[in-house]
Every structure is written in C-alpha cells, then in structure tokens.
C-alpha cells in the first residue's frame, strides 16, 4: 500500500512515487527516465517509431501478442529497447521477476552485451530506489551468459545455432539473427532458418502463453523475416522503412504509418536528411541497391533481381470492359506443406492494347483440392474465360492434363508445355509493365502479388508471376471467340 500521507509530507518521495507510477504504466516512459543510468552523456531522442516499437512490446507483456516481428533500420535503438530495457521493465515495474528470457543473435557476444547492460540498469541507483525491493540477483548464478534472480526468473544468451537443450523461456528475443556475410551465404542462411523454425519454437515454456519477438533489419529476401512472412507463421508485423513508400509491399496490421508522402523520414530527430543520404552512400559503396533497399527500406531487392517495379503497375478500381478477352493462367502445385510451392491462378484481360490483372487465386492443397478449386474458379469466371494450364513433359503430364480437362467440362481449356525458364517467360509481360500498359485491380491479394513481383526472379516464390506470364502469353495469341461456347477441349502446343 502507498502511504499517501507520508508522501505528501515529503516532496522528494512524491516525485519518486509519480515517476515510479509513470514508468510502470509505460515502457517508453521507463526508457526515457532510465536512459541516463546507462547513457549519462547521451540524450535519449524519442520519436513515433520508438513509440510504435514500445507499444508493440507492451502488447506482448499484456498477452495480446505472442509472436512479434519488427523490421527496422540499424541505429533505431532496437537492441536497447528490446533486449536491455524491456526485460528490466517486465521484471521490476511490471512486477514479473518470474519471467525467463532466452536472448538470441547471430553470435553470442551480442546478446551477452545487451544482457550485461540490462543488469547494469537493474543494479543502478535509479532502478534500485524505485523497484529494488522486488527481487535481487542470485549470487551463485550471476554470469554474463546467464543470470538468475530471487523471483525464479533468469536470462540466458546464445548465438544462432547454439545449444538450448534444457532451457525453456517465457520470452525468446531474436535480435538480428543474420549478419550481412551470413545472409549472403546460402548454406549459413538455410542453417539459420532450419534452426529458427525447428529448434527455437521447442524452447518455449508455455506454448499458449510464451512469446517470440524477432527484431531485425532485412538482409535477404529469404532471411528469417522472409521465412515468417512467406509462410504466414502468425506474427504481428511492424515494418518501419527509413523513407516512406506508399506502395511498400509490407504493411503493418496493428499500426498505421503516420507518414503520407514518399520520402518522409522515419526518425528525423535522430536521422535527418543528410544522415540518411550518408547511410545510403555507405550501403551502396559495398552492397549496392540491395543493401540500401534491404537494410534501410526493409524491402530486400536481390542483386540482379527486380524485373518488375511496383510503381510501373497502375492500380485501378475496376476491371477491364466486359468486351475484353480474358484468360485465367495457372501455375500448378499439389502440396499442403508450409514451405511448398503455391497453386496460383491469375485472371488477365486485354482490351484496346491494354492489359488488366483482375484477380489472383493462391492456395496450397492436395491434388483433389487443386482440381476442386480450379473448377470453382472457372465457374466463377464464366465460360467466356479461357483456362490455360501447363503441361509437364511425358505421359504423366499428359495424363494430368486430361484429368484436369475432365474436371473442367464446359470450359475452354488450353494446355501447353513451358518453354524456357520462368524469367524468360516473364520478359514479354515485364516489357508491357515497364511501358505502363498493365493495370492491377485493387484487391486484398495486391500486397502478396507486388511483394513477389518486386523481387522476381530471385524471390522465394515465383508462382504468381509465372501464372501471370502464362495468362499474358495466351492473350497474345489470336482470339477464337467461338471456342468459349464449346464443351471443354484440350488444345496442346
């Protein structure tokens, strides 16, 4: 109980009590007021970007978020906020000294650095006079790699790939699981992804309550963030590019970026225009546009990639005129695994030399589910829409096509073998996109389509672009309007 009468008689006690209450109610306020304990010679500069990160971490504390992914440029106080102040805030101000943390980074020395700083904060005079009565460090387990407190909580530091057997945490904090060098190495990158997806989730203390927080800059389209996003692993995603892009492929669901104009800076109080230009120049000097786009914009465009520019597509409110010719092009797969390729059907239209991408159907399913969805899609499109499907070489491919045609009775189905690789097949469509001749109908599938197209041909998934290339190629052929009213027929080329 707070002795208000005693506090009112002593102004200094009143100040301490008000400060304590402010910090207990706000992680950002805790950082603001406790900053001097770790950085006495450096002023803490706040901004809406830091506020957004702090609010998401508070939501984890309240149990509203169990999986959180934050993508943010380097230098934005992410490690101090997430791996230094947040655990200390939960232990003391939130009175949860029972919480157990596993802190992970690309090498063990990085979480050790942050754990030591967090311990220094807890041992500071400022922290002790506010929350020093809530727990103490255990003298027999108080090392850099691991320390425990008298409230049964602990912190443990490991590097990516490290041994976590016997450790189960309430919070797993993953702070930059890749370095630039390890992200560029396919073997190291895949090893990190395997460890992250198969080992780390088994180290949670309570699968229903414990949380995983990943905070990092983007270094590759198939980094840990890419794995989380591509496989829809259920993470709340906070994406904070250094400069605002209205058509950025990754949008946060819980947070709305307050910026409205392209080029507006993320944190001008810390990184002004000149500082950002200097960062760009530094990144370009070694990593080119790849480094700048990934580490600053959180939109990793691979070296040699970027056949399609999102800005070259015109997003429109409605479809092509009814009189337009239409084709639904398919790229087929038959697997339900989380890392499997997608089955995709892209509906395209042409009218007056202009092209529209009107709809994208994208799913994972068994062979039967693929056939069922294709039939349902054809019925929704109507018999006037030609269906174009790929035919694998050999008798098995022919048998598959005949089975699909049987399922699509009443529709005009064309099958043809693929010619050349996916990038080669996409070149004619890319030329029309670059020329400003391709519109995309505004719809919920846009973000996933643009995310893939902007990285093509080096994106993890190529199915949507490949299906669009097939539909476009079919539209280039001479029209045969009388076939639309014929029963299903197989035409091979």
Domain contains 146: yes
Cα atoms in the Cβ-side hemisphere of radius 13 Å centred on 314: 15
| 8-state DSSP, 305 | -
Domain contains 254: yes
In the chain, pLDDT over 90 holds for what percent of residues?
62
Q: Is the pLDDT of residue 289 over 80?
A: no
* Rounded average pLDDT over 323-352: 89
Summarised one tens digit per residue, pLDDT across range 2-39 is 555 655 566 677 778 889 999 999 999 999 999 999 99
Domain contains 305: no
User: pTM score, two decimals?
Assistant: 0.66
In the chain, pLDDT over 70 holds for what percent of residues?
91
* Rounded average pLDDT over 122-144: 94
| CB atoms near residue 284 (< 10 Å) | 13
- Quote the number of domains for the chain: 2
| CB atoms near residue 228 (< 10 Å) | 21
**Could you say which of 237, 271, 296 is where a domain stops?**
296
Summarised one tens digit per residue, pLDDT across range 402-431 is 888 888 988 999 988 887 778 778 888 988
Domain contains 470: yes
pLDDT of residue 11: 65
**Calpha distance 70→216 (Å, rounded):** 6
Domain contains 445: yes
Co-location of 117 and 79 in the same domain: yes
Q: Is the pLDDT of residue 351 over 50?
A: yes
* Rounded average pLDDT over 374-396: 87
Q: Work out the pLDDT band at 246, boundaries 50, 70, 90.
A: confident
Tokens of 217: 């800059």
Which stretch of 102-111, 233-242, 475-484 has the lowest confidence by average pLDDT? 475-484
Co-location of 214 and 341 in the same domain: no
Domain contains 302: no
Domain containing residue 402: CATH number: 3.30.420.240
Domain contains 304: no
* Rounded average pLDDT over 72-100: 97
* Rounded average pLDDT over 333-339: 73
Tokens of 438: 């391709």
Domain contains 303: no
Co-location of 138 and 242 in the same domain: yes
| 8-state DSSP, 144 | S
Co-location of 337 and 399 in the same domain: yes
For the chain, helix, strand, coil in percent to 5 are 45, 20, 40
Q: Work out the pLDDT band at 286, boundaries 50, 70, 90.
A: low
**Calpha distance 472→432 (Å, rounded):** 10
CB 470 within 8 A of CB 328: no
Q: Is the pLDDT of residue 493 over 70?
A: no
Contacts of residue 367, Cβ cutoff 8 Å, sequence gap at least 6: 334
Q: Which residue is listed with tokens 């064309």?
A: 414
Co-location of 41 and 163 in the same domain: yes
Query: Residue 323 belongs to what domain range?
Result: 310-491
Co-location of 170 and 238 in the same domain: yes
Co-location of 389 and 439 in the same domain: yes
Choose among 399, 377, 398, 382: nearest CA to 330: 377
pLDDT of residue 482: 45
Choose among 369, 362, 368, 364: nearest CA to 337: 364
**Could you say which of 253, 272, 296 is where a domain stops?**
296
Q: Work out the pLDDT band at 395, boundaries 50, 70, 90.
A: low
| 8-state DSSP, 331 | E
Tokens of 24: 């207990």
Co-location of 353 and 271 in the same domain: no
Q: Is the pLDDT of residue 304 over 70?
A: no
Q: Which residue is listed with tokens 């088994």?
A: 202
Summarised one tens digit per residue, pLDDT across range 136-174 is 999 988 899 999 999 999 999 999 998 887 889 999 999
Q: Is the pLDDT of residue 204 over 90?
A: yes
Co-location of 289 and 324 in the same domain: no
Per DSSP, what are the bridge partners of residue 184? none
Q: Which residue is listed with tokens 């695994």?
A: 337
| Mean pLDDT across the chain | 88
pLDDT of residue 220: 83
Co-location of 361 and 408 in the same domain: yes
CA-derived radius of gyration, the chain? 27
Co-location of 343 and 279 in the same domain: no
pLDDT of residue 472: 96
**Could you say which of 274, 296, 318 is where a domain stops?**
296
* Rounded average pLDDT over 292-311: 75
pLDDT of residue 485: 38
Choose among 86, 98, 84: nearest CA to 56: 86
Domain containing residue 265: CATH number: 3.40.50.300
CB 192 within 8 A of CB 161: yes
* Rounded average pLDDT over 237-259: 90
Co-location of 224 and 347 in the same domain: no
End-to-end CA gap in the chain: 83
Choose among 119, 135, 102: nearest CA to 210: 102
């Amino acid at each position: 109980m707070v002795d208000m009468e005693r506090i009112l008689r002593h102004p200094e006690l009143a100040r301490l009590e008000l400060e304590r209450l402010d910090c207990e109610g706000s992680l950002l306020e805790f950082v603001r007021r406790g900053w001097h304990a770790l950085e006495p010679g450096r002023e803490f500069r706040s901004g809406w970007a830091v506020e957004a990160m702090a609010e998401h971490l508070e939501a984890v504390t309240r149990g509203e978020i169990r999986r959180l992914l934050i993508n943010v440029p380097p230098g934005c106080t992410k490690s101090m906020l997430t791996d230094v102040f947040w655990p200390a805030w939960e232990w003391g101000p939130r009175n949860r000294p029972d919480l157990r943390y596993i802190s992970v980074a690309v090498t063990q020395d990085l979480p050790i650095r942050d754990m030591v700083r967090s311990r220094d904060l807890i041992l500071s005079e400022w922290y002790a006079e506010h929350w020093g009565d809530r727990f103490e460090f255990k003298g027999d387990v108080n090392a850099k790699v691991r320390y425990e407190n008298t409230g049964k909580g602990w912190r443990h530091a490991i590097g990516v790939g490290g041994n976590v057997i016997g450790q189960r945490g309430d919070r797993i904090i993953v702070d930059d699981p890749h370095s630039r060098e390890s992200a560029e190495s396919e073997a190291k990158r895949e090893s990190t992804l395997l460890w992250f997806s198969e080992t780390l989730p088994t180290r949670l203390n309570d699968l229903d309550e414990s949380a995983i927080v990943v905070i990092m800059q983007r270094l590759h389209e198939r980094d840990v963030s890419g794995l989380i996003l591509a496989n829809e692993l259920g993470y709340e995603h906070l994406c904070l590019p250094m400069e605002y892009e209205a058509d950025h492929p990754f949008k946060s669901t819980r947070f709305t970026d307050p910026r409205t104009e392209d080029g507006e800076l993320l944190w001008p109080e810390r990184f002004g225009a000149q500082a950002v230009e200097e960062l760009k120049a530094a990144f370009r000097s070694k990593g080119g546009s790849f480094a700048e786009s990934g580490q600053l914009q959180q939109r990793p465009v691979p070296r040699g990639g970027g056949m399609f520019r999102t800005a070259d597509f015109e997003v429109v409110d409605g479809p092509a005129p009814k009189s337009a010719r239409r084709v639904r092009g398919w790229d087929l797969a038959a697997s339900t695994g989380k890392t499997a390729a997608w089955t995709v059907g892209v509906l395209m239209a042409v009218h007056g030399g202009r092209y529209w991408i009107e709809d994208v159907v994208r799913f994972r399913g068994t062979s039967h589910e693929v056939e069922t969805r294709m039939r349902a899609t054809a019925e929704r499109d109507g018999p006037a829409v030609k269906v174009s499907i790929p035919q694998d070489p050999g008798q098995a491919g022919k048998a598959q096509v005949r089975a699909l045609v049987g399922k699509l009775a009443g529709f005009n189905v064309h099958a043809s073998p693929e010619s050349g690789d996916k990038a080669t097949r996409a070149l004619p469509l890319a030329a029309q996109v670059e020329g400003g001749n391709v519109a995309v109908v505004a719809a919920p599938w846009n973000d996933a389509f643009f995310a893939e197209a902007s990285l093509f041909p080096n994106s993890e998934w190529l199915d949507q672009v490949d299906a669009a290339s097939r539909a476009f190629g079919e539209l280039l052929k001479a029209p045969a309007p009388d076939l639309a009213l014929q029963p299903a027929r197989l035409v091979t080329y």
